[in-house]
Amino acid sequence: MSMHPARLVRRPLAAALLVALVAPGAAFGQTAREKALEARVAELERQVQLLASTQQQQQTQIATTQEQVTQVQSVQAAAPAADGKPKIQSTPILTAANPGGTFSFGGFVKMDAMVTDTSDGRIADGSSGRLFYVPSTIPVGGATADGGDAYTDFHAQFSRFWLSADHVTDTGNKFKGYVEMDFFGGGSNALAGNETSTNTYAVTLRQAYVQWNKWLAGQTWSNFQDTAALPDAVDFVGVTEGTTFVRQAQIRYTSGPWSFALENPQTTIQAYAPYAAAAGARSNSGDNVMPDLTGRYVAKGNWGHFSVAALLRQFKAAGDTESGAAVSLSGKFNLGASDDIRWMANYGSGIGRYMAFGLGSDTMIDASGELHALDGYGGFVAWRHAFSPKLRGNLMYSAAQFDNDPALVGWGVTERSQSYHANLIYSPFPKLDIGAEIGWGQRSLEDDREGDLKRFHTHVKYSF
């Protein structure tokens, strides 16, 4: 069957026209889909970049925050805590103590050098009088006594250190354990060494006590003593005659300005030596049943402080008993920013061992063994002046007297003693003191014999 030629020509033409009409549409449809896909891809890329940027910002912020935390921790470790006390380390030092306990350590290193001239003989080598001013060690001889040449002593025995452990419970209870030591050893080196080669000295217990809120138990300064009134001396004490000075074991209760204590009793007894030229021996008795009773009141203000203390005692030896009482007034009065006056006045029957380092005895004993309390009184006054923040000076006078009965103890016992001291102390740096002090002291016996002491005393002291 044959096709018509015109029909054969029309078929290719129609196919071409169909392709020409469909191809642009197909191409247009494909382009639209691609654009939609490209738009979705672009949106996804934008969201990914946004997430990456947000994550980078978060990481930067975390790193910055961590750096700030590290800086704060470093500052907190270096800065004092809320209680004002710097921390030595972050881990506990008191491994056996209650959690949260605070450990403290302090003290000072002190070197003393002095030249002494005594009128009636030398103070015995190795005695406490060669280390600081102790009036009972001043030699007193007759009219022909000769003290000889001056003599020099160097030592570092009054260097000191202390340890303290403090703790406060969740309920507010406060606990404190405190131990303080030096190298004084009473001035005797018999068991520790000598000055020939090594100058070794024994560690000496000064204080050891525990506190619980208002209660204290252990060894510390007597409640009868006002340590805040002591002058700024180069010597260990300076105003030795007129000050109360005792450390001993006790139980103390403090409430506000009031404090009361039961303290270790001890009786000193001057031997019976009626009208003897030389004093008899002095002995100690620990036969006491009743502890020494002390009470104190302190008033404080910007003007300084004032204190009054009372003492009740029982004396006992070989079955005989006696009683005694004493009172002490003391204080510090500020006279402007650069001056102050420090003072003390003491009187009592049986005040002996509490005043002037035992210059007088607590009691006298008669032929029948009966004890008699010895009356004594003394005091001091000191003026302190600061010439500048680095230089200060002090003038001091001190005296004590005892009413001995020569019919019981003879003429060779100490009746009175007095002394003057003047010093300058220079502090070129905080906590470092360089001082020089001149002193004159005198001890008088009941028969009016006297012995004098002149001393030039220097020290270098660094506190920490």
Residue 403: pLDDT above 50? yes
Helix (H) or strand (E) holding 297, with range, is strand 292-301
Rg over alpha carbons for the chain, rounded to the nearest Å, is 43
DSSP labels for 324-390?
A: EEEEEEEEEEE-SSSEEEEEEEEEEET-GGGBTTTSS-SEEE-TT--EEEPEEEEEEEEEEEESSSS
Query: What single-letter amino acid sits at 454?
Result: K
Q: What is the pLDDT of residues 143-161, one digit of tens each?
A: 889 999 999 999 999 999 9
> From residue 88, how far is each of 75, 79, 80, 95 by CA, in Å?
14, 11, 10, 14
Backbone angles phi, psi at 54, to 5 degrees: -65, -40
Q: What is the pLDDT of residues 292-330, one digit of tens each?
A: 999 999 999 999 999 999 999 999 998 899 999 999 999
Distance CA 454, CA 133 (A): 10
Task: Categorize the per-residue pLDDT at 458 as very low, low, confident or very high, splitting at 50, 70 and 90.
Answer: very high
Residue 96: pLDDT above 60? yes
pLDDT, mean over the chain: 89
Lowest-pLDDT range, 36-40, 119-123, 203-207, 273-277? 36-40
- Max mean pLDDT range (17-21, 146-150, 189-193, 309-313): 309-313
Residue 399: pLDDT above 90? yes
* Closest to 268 in 3D by CA, of 407, 136, 132: 136
- Model-wide pTM > 0.95: no
- The helix/strand/coil state of 31 is helix
Lowest-pLDDT range, 73-82, 85-94, 246-255? 73-82
